[in-house]
Amino acid sequence: MKGISLALSVYAVCVVGLFLKMFALSCYQGYFRLRYLAFTNPEDAAVFKRAAQLAERPQVCRAGRAWMNDLENIPLFIALGGLAIAVAAPGTQVAWLCGVFTVARCVHTLAYLAGWQPWRTLAYGVGVLCLWVLGAMVMGQVIAAA
């Protein structure tokens, strides 16, 4: 490594990976909207000379709930992971937490789309646990420096 620490490298790869995962979820939604030509915005439906739908397709709604759960967790990961690096928390542990969080969120999305329980709740729990440990490490560094 020159100039970029291990923790920052792993964190950067995880953020890019989560971006690709979220982008894949957008594509999944777009695929079902296009496959059934079902759009809730009149101007979108008009492109295909259809009437606007009152509700989204069930797959689009399900993917939307997976998105919402991502939005509740991933920005916090980006913040807490970045903070852990900024306050110089132990690098190897931060790198591991970033990796486990990213894998857990990918499993969560797959389990949500497929309706697999208890795997979805388990993956959610692992992700939240990583956030708790990252938060505790940040607090530990702040208290140690005070």
The site for a second copy (CB under 8 A) is made up of 1-4, 8-9, 11-13, 15-16, 19-20, 22-23, 26, 41-44, 46-47, 62, 65, 67, 71-72, 74-76, 78-80, 82-83, 86-88, 115-118, 120, 128, 131, 135, 138-139, 141-142, 145-146
Least CB distance from residue 119 to a second copy, whole Å? 10
Task: Say how far apart CA 145 and CA 125 lie, in whole Å.
Answer: 30
As measured in angstroms, the least distance from the Cβ of 35 to a second copy is 17
Q: Rank residues 19 and 36 by Cβ distance to a second copy and give the closer one.
A: 19
In the complex, the smallest distance separating the C-beta of residue 126 from a second copy, rounded to whole angstroms, is: 14
- Minimum Å gap between C-beta 27 and a second copy is 10
Are the beta carbons of 104 and 128 closer than 8 angstroms?
no
Q: Read off the tokens for 123.
A: 């993956």
CB 33 within 8 A of CB 39: yes
- Judged by CB, which is closer to a second copy: 79, or 103? 79
Residues 33, 94: Cα–Cα separation, whole Å: 39
Structure tokens at 78: 């980006």
Asked if residues 7 and 85 have their Cβ atoms less than 8 Å apart, the reply is: yes
